[in-house]
Amino acid sequence: MNGMHSAAVTLTLTRVVSVMVTENSLSVDLEDGRTISVPIGWHPRLAQGTPAERANLQINGAGYGIHWPDPDEDIGVEGLLLGKKSAENAASFERWLQQRKQRQQQATA
């Protein structure tokens, strides 16, 4: 052995059982008994969503992902377990915000 050590991390995924989104956090209960909670600011589209939009979600991907149709947000169990924040770039998020504002204005007109 040349003195170098290597460590392999094996990530075991488990299915989503329930999801709760508040003004401050996203909490996901997993079937193995763990609860993962992250700041909602890690997922800006959810942070911008209304309580009704946040409540309208679908557990998909055989239970390994969550989809919110209204803000068009998808979050996977793997990303939650790894502590990953949204990877959406600023330009894409800004376009989404502008489209959202336009839809809201049209709905109130």
Can you give the pTM of this predicted structure? 0.83
Strand-pair category, 73-76 with 35-39: unpaired
Query: Is 89 within the bounds of a domain?
Result: yes
* Domain limits for position 62: 16-108
pLDDT greater than 80 at residue 105:
yes
| CATH code assigned at 62 | 3.30.2020.40
Query: Is 70 within the bounds of a domain?
Result: yes
**Tally of domains in the chain:** 1
Query: Is 9 within the bounds of a domain?
Result: no
Residue 2's pLDDT band, with cuts at 50, 70 and 90, is low
Each residue's pLDDT tens digit, 5-24: 666 667 788 999 999 999 99
The mean pLDDT of the chain is: 91
